[in-house]
Every structure is written in structure tokens, then in C-alpha cells.
């Protein structure tokens, strides 16, 4: 699933290629992709047609285009969603779900193989520039309003595993499996370490590594494993080359040489080094 860096790359692409263009006659080719737009596909298309995107925003894994109507086109990429800007007339992608023609002769296309992603038109919530559907999502670590000290207090107040807390979008948004594993590796913390047992210094160091790994991923366009994540121009990210833990089972740790292991975690996988990320209760 695309995480914060990948979604931010897409947001930047939309800011460059979609703002200031008038949306033409919208086509919903697969109704599941607008299932969160409760009034239905026809209403979704009608509320977008003729509108002009004026700004592109993101919180965690959600991104949205602010429209000149005051409403927002809210997007979640799910597992395999792509927001592509293509020339009009270019052959349709196999899994094209929604088409938004733009007045400059291009099209904004939502492509989604697994159809877990979705689009909807939403109204402002508590803040006029944030959709109501995103009100409950915590700020992400790269948000200028994010308060590190408040995060540390909230993290240490939890009684759960540290990785489970990092993936909790009500605590901090945008962190997924890849960057959680990478930040924990850099912090020398096992994913099952209890949050209430962390010191303030350990929690702050972990946050620093979360921010660090995300910033590094942003510089190279994010992480692409299966070809499903691409930017608006269809280009893959290259942070996979810089991963130290995630996806590296049975390969030597770059710090201590012990082989990376993969363990089951919340119906997914967690990667760590048993040499320098000691599990809770381990000696040495």
C-alpha cells in the first residue's frame, strides 16, 4: 500500500499538472471506485464537471484537490491505486476506473487493479481546507503542525506493541508497514517492544527516524515493489534500493551481519534483525 512518501509524490504531481484546469465530463467506469460517494456515481460526476482544482493537499495516506466550488475531490489509493495524468487519446489502462478530462488536453485517470482505493467528493470538516472524512485522521510526521512532544506522550501512554502504535492512524498518520520496519531498524527496536516501556528519549529517537526515512524516500520518489505504485507520470520510485529491513528476509543486516527475519504481524509481515533488534525479554 502506498504510504506517506508515495502519496506526497502523487500530490506534488497533481499540484503541477492538474491545478487551474477545468474538469470536463467525468466518466465513472467502475462504480466501486466511488463507493464512498454515497449519492452515487452520477452525482459524483456532476459535482466535478466544470469545476477547477485550486490546491492539492495531503494528510497521511489521503490526498485531495480543493475545488473552486469549495468542495474537495478526496482520494485514497488503497493497495494499488494510481492517479495518472495522460494525454487525451492515449489508450486506456487495463484497470482504468475513473476519467477526468482536463481543459489543457490531458486527462486525470484513476487506475486501480485491486479496487481497494476510492474517490469521493467531500465538504469541509472542522477546517475549511480539510475534508470532513479526514477529520479523524491524526497529523502525519511531516506536517508543520505536528507536535513531537505530544506524540511521545501519546505513544508512551499506549499499552501495545510499538509497531502497532505506529500504524494507528489515530495516533500518527501516513506510516505503513515499510517505513515502520525501516524506522524501527534504525532505532534498534523490535516491533513487539511495549510502547509504555519506551523512554522519552527512545520515543523521540524513533520519531526522528520515521521522519528521516520518509524524507529520504521522498527524495527518490518513494518505494515501488510490484509496479503498482507510480507517480502521475507513470514513473516508479527507487527507495527499495535503500531499504535495510523490509523485504530483506535471509539477507545480512547491514549493521551487524545477522540475517534479517520475517515474522507474521497483523495479517502482514514484519522484518527485523534478531541481532540488533532484540525482542522483548531477550537477553544480551
Contact 215, 181 (CB under 8 A): no
> Which candidate, 158, 198, 218, places its Cα nearest to that of 280?
198
**Catalytic annotation, pick one of 235, 268, 279, 280:** 268
268 is catalytic: yes
- Cα 13 to its chain centre, rounded Å, is 15
The set of cell numbers assigned to 277 is 533488534
Strand partners, 122: 72
Are the beta carbons of 261 and 271 closer than 8 angstroms?
yes
**Distances from the Cα of 32 to the Cα of 94, 95, 96, 97, 191, angstroms:** 16, 12, 12, 9, 35
- What is the distance between the alpha carbons of residues 121 and 115, in angstroms, rounded to a whole number? 18
- Choice among 2, 53, 101, 141 that is catalytic: 2
Q: Is 3 part of the annotated catalytic residue set?
A: yes
| Of 21, 61, 193, 248, catalytic | 61
Angle of helix 177-187 versus helix 200-219 axis, rounded to 10 = 130
A 10 A CB-CB count for 157 gives: 11
Other C-beta atoms lying within 10 Å of the C-beta of residue 283: 4
Residues 6+ apart with CB under 8 A from 134: 59, 62, 64, 74, 122, 125
Integer Cα distance of 151 and 139 in angstroms = 10
User: How big is the CA angle at 160 (ends 156 and 163), to the nearest 5 degrees?
Assistant: 90
* Integer Cα distance of 114 and 22 in angstroms: 29
Residues designated catalytic: 2-3, 61, 268
Amino acid at each position: 500500500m502506498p504510504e506517506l512518501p508515495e502519496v506526497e509524490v502523487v500530490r506534488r504531481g497533481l499540484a503541477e499538472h492538474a491545478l487551474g484546469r477545468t474538469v470536463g465530463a467525468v466518466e465513472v467506469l467502475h462504480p466501486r471506485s466511488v463507493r464512498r460517494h454515497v449519492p452515487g456515481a452520477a452525482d459524483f460526476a456532476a459535482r466535478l464537471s466544470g469545476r477547477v482544482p485550486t490546491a492539492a493537499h495531503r494528510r497521511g495516506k489521503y490526498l485531495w484537490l480543493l475545488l473552486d466550488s469549495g468542495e474537495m475531490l478526496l482520494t485514497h489509493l488503497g493497495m494499488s491505486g494510481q492517479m495518472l495524468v495522460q494525454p487525451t487519446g492515449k489508450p486506456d489502462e487495463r484497470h482504468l476506473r475513473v476519467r477526468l478530462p482536463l481543459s489543457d488536453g490531458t486527462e486525470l485517470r484513476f487506475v486501480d487493479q485491486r479496487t481497494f482505493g476510492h474517490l469521493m467528493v467531500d465538504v469541509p470538516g472542522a477546517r475549511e481546507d480539510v475534508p470532513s472524512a479526514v477529520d479523524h485522521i491524526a497529523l502525519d510526521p511531516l506536517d508543520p503542525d505536528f507536535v513531537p512532544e505530544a506524540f511521545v506522550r501519546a505513544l508512551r501512554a499506549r499499552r501495545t506493541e510499538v509497531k502497532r502504535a505506529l500504524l494507528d492512524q489515530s495516533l500518527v498518520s501516513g506510516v505503513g508497514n515499510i517505513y515502520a520496519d525501516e524506522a524501527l531498524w534504525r532505532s534498534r527496536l523490535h516491533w513487539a517492544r511495549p510502547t509504555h516501556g519506551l523512554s522519552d528519549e527512545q520515543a523521540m529517537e524513533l520519531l526522528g527516524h520515521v521522519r528521516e526515512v520518509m524524507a529520504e524516500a521522498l527524495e527518490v520518489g518513494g518505494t515501488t515493489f510490484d509496479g503498482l505504485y507510480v507517480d502521475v507520470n507513470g514513473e516508479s520510485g527507487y527507495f527499495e534500493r535503500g531499504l535495510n529491513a523490509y523485504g530483506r528476509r535471509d539477507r545480512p543486516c547491514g549493521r551487524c551481519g545477522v540475517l534479517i527475519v520475517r515474522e507474521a504481524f497483523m495479517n502482514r509481515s514484519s522484518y527485523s534483525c534478531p541481532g540488533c533488534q532484540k525482542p522483548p525479554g531477550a537477553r544480551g
